[in-house]
Structure 1
Amino acid sequence: MKKNVHPAYYPDAVVTCACGNTFTTGSTVKDIRVEICSACHPFYTGKQKFVDTAHRVDRFKRLQEKAQSFKKAKNSKRNKKSVEKTAIKPKTKK
């Protein structure tokens, strides 16, 4: 095998979770930071909670509310136009 081709391997690399849990593993990086681990993941803990570190759920809800208000405004504008058209259009006799 060639020398100096492979990265350095650390058999006692420390993994630190956002919840505060730490454990050791082997890796090519000495310190690893993760957002979620087996101590706080809903699948392993059995607790139902949103794991939303980037605020994606809030953003989705905000976009849905914006779309609904836009849809209501569009429908009210469309209804006003249809009322105006029917009021202006005279009825013809056949």
Structure 2
Amino acid sequence: MQKKLHPESYRFVVFKDMSNGTTFLGRSTASGNREMIKWEDGNEYPVIKLDISSTSHPFYTGKNVLVDTAGRIDKFKKRYEKK
């Protein structure tokens, strides 16, 4: 196995699913924005915002929910409504 292949700068961050508001604590090397959130343990952690996570993804929830963050569905319907 190669040495020093993976980063060693893991830190605790709070991931926030923007589609349903669910938050969970995890470790990541990603640099979140400067927004901080106070977690249940009383400490403050940086927030990384997600469009979709396992709490809102149709595969994990069993619900067919349409997530459209950029208006792509409306553009598609408008383009093909004539046909």
Q: TM-score range by the shorter chain?
A: 0.5 to 0.7
Q: How far did 1:9 drift? A: 3.1
Q: What TM-score comes out, normalization by structure 2 length?
A: 0.62
Quote the Cα distance in structure 2 between the aligned partners of 1:8 and 1:49. Answer: 36
Q: Which runs of 5+ in 1 are unaligned?
A: 1-5, 69-94
- Count how many residue pairs are aligned between Structure 1 and Structure 2: 61
Q: How far did 1:27 drift? A: 1.3
CA RMSD of aligned residues (A): 1.9
Q: How far did 1:7 drift? A: 8.0
Of the two, which has the highest radius of gyration? 1
Q: Which has the higher helix share?
A: 1
Residue in 2 that maps onto 1:21: 22
Q: What TM-score comes out, normalization by structure 1 length?
A: 0.56
Quote the Cα distance in structure 1 between the aligned partners of 2:13 and 2:78. Answer: 40
Residue in 1 that maps onto 2:42: none
Percent pairwise identity: 44
Give the structure, 1 or 2, with the largest relative contact order (CA under 8 Å, sep 6 or more): 2
> For residue 13 of structure 1, what is the amino acid of its counterpart?
V
* 1:8-87 mapped onto 2 (5 Å cutoff): 8-10=9-11, 12-18=12-18, 19-28=20-29, 29=31, 30-66=46-82, 68=83
Q: Which runs of 5+ in 2 are unaligned?
A: 1-6, 32-45
> For residue 16 of structure 1, what is the amino acid of its counterpart?
K
Task: Determine helix, strand or coil for the equivalent of 2:81.
Answer: helix
